[in-house]
Structure 1
Amino acid sequence: MLDSNLKTQLKSYLEKVTQPIEIVAYLDEGTKSQELRELLQEIESLSERITLVEHADDSQRKPSFSINRPGTDISVRFAGIPMGHEFTSLVLALLQVGGHPIKLDEAVIEQIRNLDGDYEFETYFSLSCQNCPDVVQALNVMSVINPRIRHVAIDGALFQKEVEDRQIMSVPTVYLNGEVFGQGRAGVEEILSKLDTNAD
């Protein structure tokens, strides 16, 4: 899955990981599950701090995986194979769950931490979409800072039925607690101001 250049790069990034990481994969017999298994096995082989576990949970989308910090509620989820433009999102998720400092203003981090309520975000992306990583990375980092925020990034191409059922016309499309929350590029501050407006 990863060429040698990408592997070398990823290995050096993963040296910044300070906390153990558990990757939990939900796979079936399909070719995309095989591809995801291969990718996750390669990632596991690049760091002693990373453990890969396969889970048979039929309530989960397949192929999908979560990146967890054991003993905490910190978790970032992907449904699909985050390559293409989303590879950076995957690397950042590994680093952030693995304890690497988050590059956000302290006041913003505090604001995320203090959000009241439970938030279930779903972001539909495509691997060729240039605006998607901004949204995926913003929601991932928010879910690392505040575990009451849950986020799963979903590759629309692999979950076509959901895209049709929800009549999603463009990516990124974000759902919050089952309702459309936003479309198009957005960063942490924009998402926060929208959440705060909703809270008012």
Structure 2
Amino acid sequence: MLDANLQSQLKTYLERVTRPIQITAHADDGAKSREMLDLLQTLESLSDKISLQVLRDGQGRVPSFDLGTPGQDIHLTFAGLPMGHEFTSLVLALLQVGGHPSKATAELIEQVQNLEGDYRFETYFSLSCQNCPDVVQALNLAAVLNPRIQHVAIDGALFQEEVEQREIMSVPTVYLNGAVFDQGRMTLEQIVAKLDTNASKRDAEKIAAKDVFDVLVVGGGPAGAA
């Protein structure tokens, strides 16, 4: 599934991983499960930090796979085969689950980590969608940073029954705790802004906590010449 050149590039990226990555696959005997397992077995062969477990218990969405690491409470799942535009989302998820830091600002990371409540996100994407990776990558990172955030990225083409039942007309469509959260391209900043309703209050408290001081402005304008 991955040609030699792509495997070589991916192997180089995976050298940045600092902690083990556990992939748990949920598969059956179907063609799509076989394609998924072929991809995951290739990933396992590219890094000694990656281990693969295959479950055929028929639970949850099939085919799908979870990404995690020992000692960390991470809930990050790809339901389907993240190729096409979503392959970058898979690579970033592997790196971040494996301990490689994201490029998000320290302030944004802290805001995600401090979110209160439990959030179960589901993002429906298509492999040809150019706006979907931004959303998938943002929510994947949130799931890595905060154990109370869960994210499942779902290939709508493989789970048509869900798409029809939920009457999803466009991608990306994001559900939060079973209800529609938003549609279209979103950044992590925009997502957090919708979730973090106490942000303004905290900002006001920070300003109030600062020392009070006087400012004397000496200028050369009319007031200074008077």
Measured after TM superposition, the shift of residue 99 of structure 1 is 0.2
Instruction: Please tell me whether the aligned partners of residues 27 and 58 of structure 2 are also in contact (alpha carbons under 8 angstroms).
Output: no
Specify every segment of 5 or more residues in structure 2 that has no aligned partner in the other structure, as ranges: 201-226
Measured after TM superposition, the shift of residue 74 of structure 1 is 1.8
Deviates more, 1:77-86 or 1:51-60: 51-60
Whole-Å separation in 1 of the counterparts to 2:149 and 2:199: 15
Q: Is structure 2 residue 32 aligned with structure 1 residue 32?
A: yes
- What residue identity is the alignment partner of 1:69? T
Instruction: Please tell me whether the aligned partners of residues 119 and 148 of structure 1 are also in contact (alpha carbons under 8 angstroms).
Output: yes
SS in 2 for 1:61: coil
Partner residue in 2 for 1:102: 102
1:89-131 deviations in Å (ceiling 9; x for gaps): 0000000000001211111111001100110000000000000
Specify every segment of 5 or more residues in structure 1 that has no aligned partner in the other structure, as ranges: none
Partner residue in 1 for 2:187: 187
Between 1 and 2, higher relative CO (CA 8 Å, sep ≥ 6) is seen in 1
- What residue identity is the alignment partner of 1:82? P
TM-score, normalised by the number of residues in structure 1: 0.97
Instruction: Please tell me whether the aligned partners of residues 75 and 97 of structure 1 are also in contact (alpha carbons under 8 angstroms).
Output: no
1:108-161 deviations in Å (ceiling 9; x for gaps): 111001100110000000000000000000000001000100000000000000
- What residue identity is the alignment partner of 2:99? G
Partner residue in 2 for 1:23: 23
Instruction: Please tell me whether the aligned partners of residues 75 and 149 of structure 2 are also in contact (alpha carbons under 8 angstroms).
Output: no
Partner residue in 1 for 2:8: 8
Trace 1:1-200 onto structure 2 (pairs within 5 A).
1-197=1-197
Whole-Å separation in 2 of the counterparts to 1:78 and 1:122: 10
Q: What count of residue pairs does the alignment treat as equivalent?
A: 200
Instruction: Please tell me whether the aligned partners of residues 24 and 53 of structure 2 are also in contact (alpha carbons under 8 angstroms).
Output: yes
SS in 1 for 2:196: helix
Moved segments of 4+, more than 4 Å = none
Whole-Å separation in 1 of the counterparts to 2:132 and 2:191: 14
Measured after TM superposition, the shift of residue 59 of structure 1 is 2.8
Whole-Å separation in 1 of the counterparts to 2:8 and 2:106: 32
C-alpha RMSD over aligned residues: 1.3
